[in-house]
Structure 1
Amino acid sequence: MAAPYTIGILTVSDSASRDSEQDKSGPLLKELFAADAKYSVQKQAIVPDQAQEIEDIVKEWSDVVCINAIVLTGGTGLSKRDITPETIRPLLTKETTGITHLLLSVSLAITPFAALSRPVTGIRNKTLIITLPGSPKACKENMDAVFKVLPHALDLVLSRSVKQIHHQMQKSEHNMATTIQSGGSGHTCTHHHDNHGDPSQTGVSALLDTPVSRRARSSPYPLIPVEEAHKIIAKHAKPLNVISVPVSQFLPGYVLAEDVCSVEPVPGYRASIVDGYAIHVEDGPGIYEIESISLAQTGTEQEQPRALSKGKIARVATGGMVPEGANAVIMVEDTKLAKSSPSGDEELEVEILVGARSGDNIRPVGSDCSVGQVVGRKGQRIGGELGVLASVGVRHIKVFRKPRVGVLSSGNEVLDHIHTDQLKPGQIRDTNRITLLAAIQAAGFEAVDLGIVDDNVDDIVERLEEATAKTDVLLTTGGVSMGEADFMKPILEQKLEATVHFGRVMMKPGKPTTFATIPQGPKRPPKLVFALPGNPVSATVGFYLFVLPALRRMAGWPKPENVLVPVQIQETIQLDARPEFHRVQVSIGSQGSMIATSTGKQQSSRMLSMVEANGLLQLPMRTPELPELAKGTTVPCILIGTLINH
């Protein structure tokens, strides 16, 4: 194995040069390089935004120490102190415009604000120099892309032999074009347009009136990773407005928009913890006359019992008011009847058998909760706290509004399952709509049934405009692939002025999943649109994977992401060329760990694969080194239902 490439990391920051604890990007870069045995970090330093100090370090590391690659972080922005590009460019003997373009294109795919960054990359003698933003997040995103080409670039700079590498690259490209099979289906992948940066990926649909014969044979939308899709959705799924709601049985599932404090003490009076007798502790054991009776009561007739006389006792029930003067309560079990009325219906005298301490069996005023005490925190989702809120006198609270979600099915062949007695050739029953409506309601959100619309542009536009007027989020199924009547994306862009943020995701099932936003004018949040594939399983997986976290985020959940749990698979699973979300039944095994059993064939049109499925395995894409996962392998899984006993 060749010696590792030597790396120098230079942080350019006025604040970090004064306090190294503020340097987050430098240590992150060191951690990224340290994770790969091909690299060895030889130098690391922090300098202020001063041209001479930056220049001195770079010259020393490249000309004297002969570091293979120097990575600078910071000083590439637009502020007056950002001078890293101006300092580095004169030091270069050759610029590497391709790497610079790579940095910008990766960042721009994530945020338009990347256009405000000014990266510079190039070579000084035998040292490759790369400048990155000061943000740790941007550093990682840029380096994830650069790592793919960095070893080959360094070999070229260092004049190492690259013949074998070129041969491997050509062989890999040939294999990508001819031998990748999708999940054992026998499909030969020739989709060169799926490669990142392909000219066909314009991100905009063809005009609606384009004849079928002139339409593109490949999607204009880049194929993005699932993780990137999540980030894009999170940028647009913002918490909705705050509303005031009564404390009632309809409150669970809402998220508090502010802290809630008690307005009354609990208990509001001195209350007995047990059924027994209120006493004066100093009187001690003995026989005493019963002076009064205090029961737990409701309504306006409840009054404070009169003060207990010395040498007397009062009968009290659990929750009843303890009379003034009494300083303890003796349990019934520690007493004995000494005298009753002639009829035997009334206690007159009772013998106290034990001694007591002051305060025994008495709940003081506010001992459970005092006035002003916080009983609910902002961001807290209401569940079992409902009773607490009611007990402390809170009648209304402020919460984030839950989104209203509309579901629309599309397709000439799609018919309502209830109103269709018998299908004709080419017709199918609408399973997507009922499945998604039920899933939305089960998750605690309001679902709006928008029915079915034919594959007609004018009809679709009209239904979408109606839907956006009465919903916060719109789910459509069908019309997002490459068929003759797949109009959803161009209609959104050309008729509703929507922005399609992504139109394809690197996943199975659900590759054509589309996310868009429709503007609603100034000071009004845009409406979110999830255009899901028409295949039933694809639509369902897309809902749990993308839509449900977005709904939670809009409802104010502080942690809206799906929870991944480790499960042990019970059969060997062949991996696919795309990351796959495999439907499984998750249960508790005999050893107490969670186990997952496949629901069988995983075609995106096979609804039976969802029967009893309560989990989605998150499977990696197939590689030559990892074509399958063996039985017993632990795999991350998204729970979409209740756990069952094995």
Structure 2
Amino acid sequence: MADHSKLRAAILIISETASKDPATDKGIPALQEVFAEKAGDRWTFNETRIVPDSVLDIQRAITGWSDGEEFFNLVLTSGGTGFTVKDVTPEAVSPLIHKHAPGLVHGMLAASLKVTPFAMMARPVAGVRNKTLILTLPGSPKGAKENLEAVLPQLVHACQQAAGADSRSLHVGGTKKLEQDAGLQPPKQEATLVQGHHHHSHDHGHSHSHGQGGHSGPKAHTKPEDRPPISNDPSAGPTRRYRESPYPMLSVDDALQLIDQHTPEPTVISVPVNESLVGSVLASDVAARESVPAFRASTVDGYAIIASNHIMVPSTKGIFPVTGVSHAQAGEVPALQIGEVARITTGAPLPPKATSVVMVEDTVLRSMTDDGMEEDEIEVLTGDIKDGENVREVGSDVMAGDVVMKKGEGITAVGGELGLLASVGTREVSIYRKPVVGVLSTGDEIVPHDRQGDLRLGEVRDTNRPTLLTAIRGSGFEAVDLGIASDKPGALEEALRAALRTVDVLVTTGGVSMGELDLLKPTLERALGGTIHFGRVAMKPGKPTTFATVPIKPTAGGTHDAQKVVFALPGNPASAVVTFHLFVLPALHKLGGVSPRGLPRVKVVLAEAVRCDARRAEFHRVVVGVDGEGGLRAVSTGVQRSSRIGSFKGANALVCLPAREGRVEKGERVDALLMGMVGGEV
């Protein structure tokens, strides 16, 4: 069992050689030795790993250790921090950092410079991602040990703070207490030589700013603008923007996992049973308040009678007076006596003491009342009527207390579920509240699709917004049209703030690539305090798709900040629609309690060969129909450019093509995600 009183550390060795032959690695034992000899009993090593010099492999290892609930407090990397072509560790780690720690970097460099001037060739990175402290150490075991030993005493305190420990309690006793607990000696006040004499300064009332001794305060050795930012700074201008995206390229599966991890759990509400329930999912079991039927009822039109196997009735065959009538309506019905019958309609309650119903087809009329309006006597033509014949007993459909619907079941538009709930007297149910989804287009070049007049140079009609609004509503969720937001930073920030006050999920299109006016990511992070969980996906189309959460202050009576979900989709129309179905829909399903989540996956046979992309999985728009043998066949919709919304005309599925060289041949079976109903033969 894990010891939760200790801080958890992991070691990542980055080496082409060691990744092929782990026996050659000396870094892991060297770093473990430092902890064993100098760190006391505050740490435990739960995991080590060796990867090649690959940005994606490095990022996958670190995010796997830092992004889950069972996070590691400290991740140490060793290797790849130099100037060779293969050294990519700083480039892999820097974009992952949420809070940079230049002080730790300075401490490691200062220690190395005491050993060799060549330490200035190192490129260490340090900082916090989520609740995990990350340090990059040199690749040589000796250099890695020296760097780690330089900052090791401070790491317990740093990791406790990063993990969310109360700062006040950590700092009780002040800096001296922290230094003492860490086993550090405070810097001694150095004596100064004044005109050849040994002199200690005691003049605390004067400035020490231009003396060689004194109590100088902490001094940062880098400027804020020189430190790696979390995203482009809109105020810095195009010359300072990233030339390459700082966000790691995730696989589609990894992106879906992050969406599931960071999408809030559904909210449970109580609502009346009426037509507005259609499309909702039950959040708890529903038990019948009443039995159905609530009384013994006839299943046919005929005559209520006391059965022939009754002890006092030798036979039901013969002539009987009609002493009463029972219709399918509320009211009292007089008791039936032996030798009498009562006319009864389908669904009507049996008179007291009646045991059975004889069908009208098994009788003939023998006499009428004097006015000719009613039956006086009828003859029953059979003597074989038994107890319970043609009778629906109390609770024969549903007994009071029986569970009629289970948690997680949906209310469909077919009507059966709503009818069932109504039939057992259910007046209110608990459901998962369906999220309200807002759709916002961004960009000063975007104009409403129905604007009168010709387009001016550079203008683009807004096809994304009406398309996504239709897709959201067609999926059973409420969609709010938020219009078009300007690319200007202040206007975009205000549009996002206003949107997040009114919707649960915000879907934007445009502004997520690498242009100087692509401001969605920096506005979400810098202005709104949001967290971008991924900013690039290895897929085609839709690579710059971004998923973020933004904290919103609680409403009156609330106790915790709410998390609003934001999907910033690419501006190209085909990309926007593909990424909606692939990423947004599963999040809406989770928030609405729908299971299974996302589009249904089926196997289809390709009607033609389709070329694959060597680096990215592709989601190819197709029409799926039935082939001549009853299987499913997929026909491409043609050119698949991300800007071509026409590739969705008639499409009812996305064929999932793997990232590989070559192509998928005609007749091969591949996975497809169904967006709509499967039609006839194609």
Common topology (TM > 0.5): yes
Is the CA contact (8 Å cut-off) linking 2:440 and 2:483 kept in structure 1?
yes
Residue 250 (structure 1) aligns with: 276
The amino acid that maps onto 1:600 is G
Whether contact under 8 Å (1:263, 1:393) holds in the other structure is yes
Residues 259 and 547 in structure 2, CA contact (< 8 A), matched pair in contact too:
yes
TM-score (norm 1): 0.70
Give distance in 2, aligned partners of 1:337 and 1:117: 94
Which has the higher mean CA deviation after the structures are superposed, 209-218 or 104-113?
Answer: 104-113
Residue 449 of structure 1: aligned partner:
481
**Structure 2 contact 62–75 (Cα < 8 Å) conserved:** no
Contact 1:272 1:319 (C-alpha < 8 Å) held by counterparts: yes
User: Do residues 318 (structure 1) and 346 (structure 2) align?
Assistant: yes
| Mapped partners of 1:220, 1:101: distance in 2 | 14
Letter in 2 for 1:107: G
Partner of 1:465: 497
Distance 1:233 1:401 in 2: 19
Secondary structure of 1:233's counterpart equals helix
User: Where do residues 438-587 of structure 1 align in structure 2 (5 Å cutoff)?
Assistant: 438-521=470-553, 523-577=560-614, 578-587=616-625
**In structure 2, what is the Cα distance between the partners aligned to 1:586 and 1:222?**
34
Q: 1:306 to 1:114 in 2, by over 3 A?
A: same
Question: In the alignment, is the contact (CA less than 8 A) between 1:104 and 1:119 conserved in 2?
Answer: no
Deviation at 1:238, TM superposition (A): 2.4
Letter in 2 for 1:605: S
One-letter amino acid of the counterpart of residue 105, structure 1: I
Q: Deviations over 1:19-40 (max 9, x none)?
A: xxxxxxxxxxxxxxxxxxxxxx
**Aligned position for 1:228:** 254
Write the deviation string for residues 267-299 of structure 1: whole angstroms up to 9, x where unpaired. 1111101111111112421121111111112xx
Q: Tell me, in whole angstroms, the C-alpha distance in 1 between the residues paired with 2:58 and 2:275.
A: 57
Aligned residues: 482
Give, in angstroms, the shift of residue 115 of structure 1.
1.5
Cα deviations by residue, 1:88-137 (Å, 9 ceiling, x for unpaired) = 99xxxxx969799788525236427431488999xxxxxxxxxxxxxxxx
1:187-237 deviations in Å (ceiling 9; x for gaps): xxxxxxxxxxxxxx9792121112212322111111100000000000111
1:202–1:221 Cα contact (<8 Å) kept: no
> Residues of 2 paired with 1:496 and 1:97: CA distance?
36
One-letter amino acid of the structure 2 residue matched with residue 363 of structure 1: R
CA deviation after TM superposition for structure 1 residue 558, in Å: 3.9
Write the distance in 1 (CA, Å) between the matches of 2:526 and 2:43. Answer: 42
Instruction: Quote the Cα distance in structure 2 between the aligned partners of 1:595 and 1:475.
Output: 32
Where do residues 101-180 of structure 1 align in structure 2 (5 Å cutoff)?
104-105=61-62, 107-108=64-65, 110-111=67-68, 113-116=70-73
Matched residue SS, 1:333: helix
Correspondence list, 1:336-347, <5 A: 336-341=364-369, 344-347=372-375
Structure 2 counterpart of 1:305, one-letter code:
V
Give 1:525 shift: 2.4
Instruction: Specify which of 408, 411, 414 is matched with residue 382 of structure 1.
Output: 411
Q: CA deviation at 1:583?
A: 0.6
Question: Which of these residues, 626, 632, 635, is aligned with residue 670 of structure 2?
Answer: 635
Structure 1: 5+ residue stretches without partners = 1-11, 15-61, 63-75, 90-94, 122-200
Tell me if structure 2 keeps the 8 A contact 1:208–1:490: yes
- 114 and 260 in structure 1: CA distance in 2 versus 1, 3 angstrom threshold: same
| 1:309 aligns with one of 323, 337, 340 | 337
SS in 2 for 1:452: strand
Letter in 1 for 2:246: P
Superposition map of 1:345-360 within 5 A: 345-354=373-382, 355-360=384-389
1:152-184, Cα deviation, whole Å (9 max, x unpaired): xxxxxxxxxxxxxxxxxxxxxxxxxxxxxxxxx
Match for residue 244 of structure 2? 218
Specify whether residues 115 and 253 from structure 1 end up closer, same or farther in structure 2 by C-alpha distance, changes over 3 A only.
same
Correspondence for 1:331: 359
Q: Contact conserved, 1:256 with 1:400, CA < 8 A, in 2?
A: yes
Please provide the CA RMSD for this pair. Answer: 3.0
> After the TM superposition, which of the residue ranges 366-375 and 535-544 deviates more from structure 2?
366-375
Letter in 1 for 2:281: V
Contact map agreement 1:85 1:119 (CA 8 A) in 2? no
Give the match for residue 93 of structure 2: none
Partner Cα distance (2:574, 2:664) in 1: 22
Q: Deviations over 1:39-62 (max 9, x none)?
A: xxxxxxxxxxxxxxxxxxxxxxx9
Partner of 2:183: none
Matching residue of 1:362: 391
The residue number in structure 2 matching 1:261 is 287
In structure 2, the partner of 1:159 is none
Structure 1's 644 and 554: CA in aligned 2 closer, same or farther, altered over 3 A? same
**Deviates most, 516-525 or 351-360:** 516-525
Partner amino acid for 1:405? V
Residue identity matched to 1:486: D
Q: Shift of residue 82 of structure 1? A: 12
Map 1:269-288 → 2, pairs under 5 A: 269-282=295-308, 283=313, 284-288=316-320
- Hey, what does 2:91 align to over in structure 1? none
Distance 2:303 2:41 in 1: 79
Q: Which amino acid in 2 is paired with 1:353?
A: L
Shift of residue 253 of structure 1?
1.3
Matched-pair contact (CA < 8 Å) for 1:85–1:118: no
Q: Which residue does the alignment assign to 1:614?
A: 652
Mapped partners of 2:544, 2:423: distance in 1: 50
CA distance in 1, matches of 2:75, 2:528: 35
Mapped partners of 1:96, 1:224: distance in 2: 20
Say whether the 8 Å CA contact 1:278–1:330 is kept in structure 2.
yes
Unaligned runs of 5+ in 2: 4-22, 24-34, 79-226, 554-558
Structure 1 505/104 Cα, relative in aligned 2: closer, same or farther at 3 Å? closer
Contact 1:203 1:221 in 2 (8 A): no
Q: Output the CA distance in 2 between the equivalents of 1:385 and 1:483.
A: 51
Give the conservation status (yes or no) of the 8 Å contact 2:241–2:516: no
TM-score scaled by structure 2?
0.66
Counterpart contact for 2:542–2:579, Cα < 8 Å? yes
Q: 1:408 to 1:102 in 2, by over 3 A?
A: closer
